[in-house]
Chain A
Amino acid sequence: MAKAYWLALPVLVFLALALLYPLGRIVALGLGEGFAPTLADPYYRSRLVWSLAYGLGSSLLCALVALPLAYAFRYRFPGRDFWLAFSVVPFVLPTLVVAMGFLSLVGPRGLLGVNLYGTPWILFWASLLYNLGLVLRPLVALLPKLSTPMQAARTLGASPLRAYLRVGIPLLAPALLSSGSLVFLFSFTSFGVPLLLGGAGWATLEVATYQALAQRLAFPEASALVLMQLGVTGAVLWLYLRLQAGWVVGLEGAEAPRPLTRGRALLLSTGVSGFFLLLYSPLLALVWRALERPGAWLSVWHNPDFTPGLLALQNTLVFAAMALLGVLPVGLLYAYAVWRGARWLDGLGLLPLMVSPVALGLGYLLVYPGLRGSIWLLIGAYILLSYPLLTRTLLPALQGLPRGVLEAARVLGAPPWRRFIRVEWPLVRPSTIAGLALALAALLGEFGATLTLQRPEWATLSLAIYERLGRPGATPFYEAVVLAVVLMVLCTVLLLGLQKSTWDR
């Protein structure tokens, strides 16, 4: 137990400096005055209620859609790996660009002829598009391991339904709760989508925080909002940790996707592809737009008026790679420490996902005024933002490690490091890679932190897109759309590659 804390110590120091101290200052500034009026304001109360509804609705929706899909992914069919990899791609796309896709499809003059702008439906659709992959991928990694215990239950005489309820659901619960809580956190605290697609009526707490803090420096209101947000996310985490504790079940062995007869594989492929094409149709609308002006595909790389696309592409790849070098040890160390017994650390490790980036950015300025554009700061922020994604994916795998094998290794006298390298690592490697892929995806499209901490020569793809969308005219517009499509293709290719290495062990 004590060892676990030592393992987590570096991460805790990092968290304290990069997260707790700056955020604490913001909240402290606003405490006292004006706190109660904000809580009593019906406008802010309605923001809270809507944020809760959006978070809960999104995670339920994602779970409901991901579960049957995950069953389909147990089989081998054409397009399987592609869709699995692609499911996390939207996660990284700049919201402004996705919003453009949505509006050209279901906007006021959209291709479909239905106007969903300013309705909650477009927000839930966007949430599913963004977050489905977060639930789907861990489920797909887990489901094949379910068949052995399920078969055992059936052999012992349980009916299929009973086997599912008593064995299947408890085995799936940790992964569902874990990824569901991620979806809740992302939707509850979401900023870009409600800001751009919801119109004025569907602002979340995070949007309200941004308006209070970044625009007006209204610390009392902002800290009330930040605390409200932390209160909810904290309660959800506590509940989730309590529930999860009783649900850890060992899972042994893994299985490759099952083969199917050709006809059935094609049928399944058609169904799954059809669903995804429908879900991602706003992105297709975007690709359609990018193809409207072939000229932009040539000019975008060297345009002297804006950050050349080539430089942006290079920066994006270099920064993401540098950050991954930090994400791996931090995420690994953290997951390991939590698994080894420091359960309360688990909630703390999720903090980076539940705080307001706006509050954090201003907090940095308050406590580290000397902080100027330094590449290490940017990389540090990248690590902070993306390591929880690795930890999240890794933990269920660690908790599901077969106890027998570990104990056997110990009894046979293997020292801890050796046990880790020879026994634990090979078993958790697929989940590590899946987690790294998620972190990578988040890094490639990162926007908020990059914008605040950047220098012009560091412009990444998302910044190059944003820069072009700040000028009127056809060239900047179509170049922005082209860069968005490039970002999308880049993520798909990288994730597809990582996916392959997971399955071809």
Chain B
Amino acid sequence: MLLVLWPAWAQQTTLTVLTHDSWSLDKNLVARFEQENGIRVRFLKGGDAGEMLNKAILSKGAPIADVIYGFDNTLLSRALQADILQPYRSPELPNLRPELIIDQTFRATPVDFGYVALNYDRDFFKGKPLPQRFADLTQPEFAGLLVVQNPATSSPGLAFLLATVAAFGEDGYLDFWENLRKNGVRVVSGWSEAYYTHFTRAGGDRPLVVSYSTSPAAELYYSEAKPKPTEPPTANLFLPRSSFFQVEYVGILKGTRNLRAAQRFVDWLVSKPAQESIPTQMWVYPARRDARLPEVFRFAQVPPEPARLTPQQIANNRERWIREWTQVVVQGQTAQAVKARR
């Protein structure tokens, strides 16, 4: 039996795809892709998006994978600078939303997008006022309500820090964070910890959390209550410029020995069936214009005024912003002192 099957196995190409920890796609779809193309696909999880990209950069030249998926626009410039990606113009490109195609060298193909946004616990705020402006978060009436992620260890944390830079500017963002610190903001290391231990929905004491604009929809999708509620227990708090626009990319790693298979995989990832399975698997929006959204995405609204920074701005300042943030929020220095040392 094995001997009969052996030649078929040996002919098959194995494609390795490096992804971040949140990777998830319909297993049946992947199986069909494998069958139709005679390619075996192996997914290698490389940690959080930043860690994953660092691993790809470290193994430059002799890559640990053929394809890398999941680096976003906060990391795009680092990937391009490190020169680990190979250009590829997918025939599917015209079907993708043009505003997502930021890289004009076609080394990174957009797969999905989403927004890092503030979520609130609806029960907690029943009959209480919500903050109206971003700066309201530093007011005494909202003291001790917010939990955020450390931008040094978490990608939503970094995205939220970038939103504050975009909203308050170089001069104002550190003052905002200093006030936030004085107002009792809690900093934790990652998204799961913030959401599952400190957010009031899971038994914590913070009704405001940095999460994603799709989280309320996911709450409803995974709700266990019977009958299923018609509205999610959480909602987005879209303060102007408090949410951050994130695009996730796929790229072919330089040095791959399976170029053809890698290209087919990229095409498939932005094909209609794969794109339509993305929303309820990874809770982001498909990059394809004609992909239908599931019903539950009614609750995953698009923020009216998201903050945006160019990859170049991010590349030039990311390290410094994180360092200054650490000095003010973690080590408790004053914004003034930190700015004076610039």
Residues of A within 8 A of B (CB): 43, 96, 99-100, 103-104, 107-109, 195-196, 199-201, 210-211, 214-217, 289, 293, 295-296, 304-306, 362, 365-366, 369-373, 451-452, 454-456, 466-467, 469-478
Closest 5 CB pairs of A and B: A473-B222, A108-B205, A369-B62, A475-B222, A469-B192
Per the 8 Å Cβ criterion, residues 284-342 of B in contact with A are: 319, 329-331
Set B45, B65, B215: member contacting A472, Cβ < 8 A = B215
A456 / chain B contacts, CB cutoff of 8 Å: 43, 45
Annotate B4-39 by CB proximity to A: 1 below 8 A, 0 otherwise: 000000000000100001101001000000000000
Annotate B202-215 by CB proximity to A: 1 below 8 A, 0 otherwise: 11111000011001
Please tell me if B196 contacts chain A, counting CB pairs below 8 Å: yes
Please tell me if B188 contacts chain A, counting CB pairs below 8 Å: yes
Max chain A CB contacts within 10 Å: which of B46, B61, B188, B330? B188
Residues of B within 8 A of A (CB): 16, 21-22, 24, 27, 42-48, 50-51, 54-55, 57-59, 61-65, 150, 152-153, 186-189, 191-193, 195-198, 200, 202-206, 211-212, 215, 218-225, 234, 281, 283, 319, 329-331
Max chain A CB contacts within 10 Å: which of B153, B200, B319? B153
A103 / chain B contacts, CB cutoff of 8 Å: 197-198, 203-204
Task: A216 to B58: give the CA distance in the assembly, Å.
Answer: 12
Task: A201 to B332: give the CA distance in the assembly, Å.
Answer: 10
A214 / chain B contacts, CB cutoff of 8 Å: 47-48, 50-51, 54
CB within 8 Å for A109 and B203 given contacts A470-B191, A474-B222: yes
- The number of inter-chain residue pairs (CB within 8 angstroms) is 143
Interface of B is mostly: mixed
Could you list 11 examples of A-B contacts with CB < 8 Å?
A: A99-B197, A107-B204, A210-B153, A217-B58, A296-B224, A304-B27, A369-B63, A372-B64, A455-B42, A470-B22, A477-B196
B219 / chain A contacts, CB cutoff of 8 Å: 472-474
Chain A nearest CB, measured from B187 CB (Å): 5
CB within 8 Å for A470 and B205 given contacts A217-B54, A451-B45, A476-B222: no
Set B43, B65, B189, B211: member contacting A195, Cβ < 8 A = B189
B21 / chain A contacts, CB cutoff of 8 Å: 451, 466-467, 470
Do residues A365 and B42 form an inter-chain contact, with CB atoms below 8 A? no
CB within 8 Å for A451 and B47 given contacts A96-B193, A100-B196, A109-B203: yes
A96 / chain B contacts, CB cutoff of 8 Å: 192-193
Chain B nearest CB, measured from A47 CB (Å): 12
Chain A's closest residue to B211 (CB) is A472
Interface of A is mostly: helix
Do residues B50 and A215 form an inter-chain contact, with CB atoms below 8 A? yes
A366 / chain B contacts, CB cutoff of 8 Å: 58-59
Task: A474 to B21: give the CA distance in the assembly, Å.
Answer: 20
Chain B nearest CB, measured from A280 CB (Å): 19
Do residues A108 and B198 form an inter-chain contact, with CB atoms below 8 A? yes
Set B197, B203, B224: member contacting A293, Cβ < 8 A = B224
Do residues A362 and B196 form an inter-chain contact, with CB atoms below 8 A? no
Set A304, A372, A472, A475: member contacting B42, Cβ < 8 A = A372
Do residues B62 and A107 form an inter-chain contact, with CB atoms below 8 A? no
B24 / chain A contacts, CB cutoff of 8 Å: 305-306, 467
Chain A nearest CB, measured from B283 CB (Å): 7
Do residues A211 and B205 form an inter-chain contact, with CB atoms below 8 A? no
CB within 8 Å for A211 and B153 given contacts A370-B62, A455-B42: yes
Set A217, A452, A469: member contacting B47, Cβ < 8 A = A452
B43 / chain A contacts, CB cutoff of 8 Å: 455-456
A455 / chain B contacts, CB cutoff of 8 Å: 42-44
B61 / chain A contacts, CB cutoff of 8 Å: 369
Do residues A373 and B224 form an inter-chain contact, with CB atoms below 8 A? no
CB within 8 Å for A478 and B224 given contacts A99-B193, A200-B150, A215-B153: yes
Chain A nearest CB, measured from B224 CB (Å): 5
Task: A49 to B191: give the CA distance in the assembly, Å.
Answer: 29
Q: A43-B331, A214-B54, A473-B220 are in contact. List 18 more A-B contacts (CB 8 A).
A: A96-B192, A100-B196, A103-B198, A103-B204, A108-B198, A195-B153, A196-B193, A200-B330, A214-B51, A215-B153, A362-B54, A365-B55, A471-B218, A471-B222, A472-B212, A473-B223, A475-B222, A475-B224
